[in-house]
A = this chain, B = another copy of it.
């Protein structure tokens, strides 16, 4: 579909890769558009490392040029069930409002790091798999937020001062989860490699009951596709 998977041709792009279904599909889209993909994952003190291992496997499978993991211990700030061991992950269903799994300013931090790397790589393109439809109510997944980040980024850097325009690509932002699953499948994403669960175990097996598992399962169902997720017993 996009030639030799390690081809050096194409403009460089920084792709934020979490190890989940959405960012894997985003990487596949960036590759299909011909970008040379430099993938960035953040080790922000999350409960488990299965998703970082998943990110590495996805980057390799989808022909990324490189994959880097930056360590930043956000657990010290607390305030989120995803980084603070004292706050339980909710498992009773997706509620209205912003859940405790929200990590404060996570997308802002990740996009800021992507911006730094993009500047060093002389890249004008950052890809992020945010989604404003079947999402968990996070404010930093909304189109108006992404647009505001892009405006800020275009004032922030040496490249911007020198006339380059940086673009934040959020190709999933208006897609329903089922559409994301379909698009990823078309582009050859192996979703068995991805981990969406907020409390996956060491081998990446999903709980099946957190918000992220529920949204993912519903997405495969609505798309009429087989869900390759491995759920743990119990």
Contact = CB atoms under 8 A, between A and B. Distances in A.
Contact of A156 (B79, B119, B145): B145
Contacts of A157: 104-105, 139-140
A117 interface: yes
Nearest to A117: B77
Interface stretch (A54-62, A67-75, A205-213): A67-75
A152 interface: yes
Contacts of A152: 108, 145, 148-149, 151-152
Contacts of A79: 119-120
Copies of the polypeptide in the assembly: 2
Q: How large is the interface on A (under 10, 10 to 19, 20 to 34, 35 or more residues)?
A: 35 or more
Closest 8 CB pairs of A and B: A79-B120, A105-B116, A148-B152, A104-B119, A104-B116, A112-B112, A145-B155, A105-B115
Contacts of A156: 105, 107-108, 139-140, 145, 148-149
Given A73-B71, A109-B109, A148-B151, A158 B116 contact: no
A76 B120 CA distance: 10
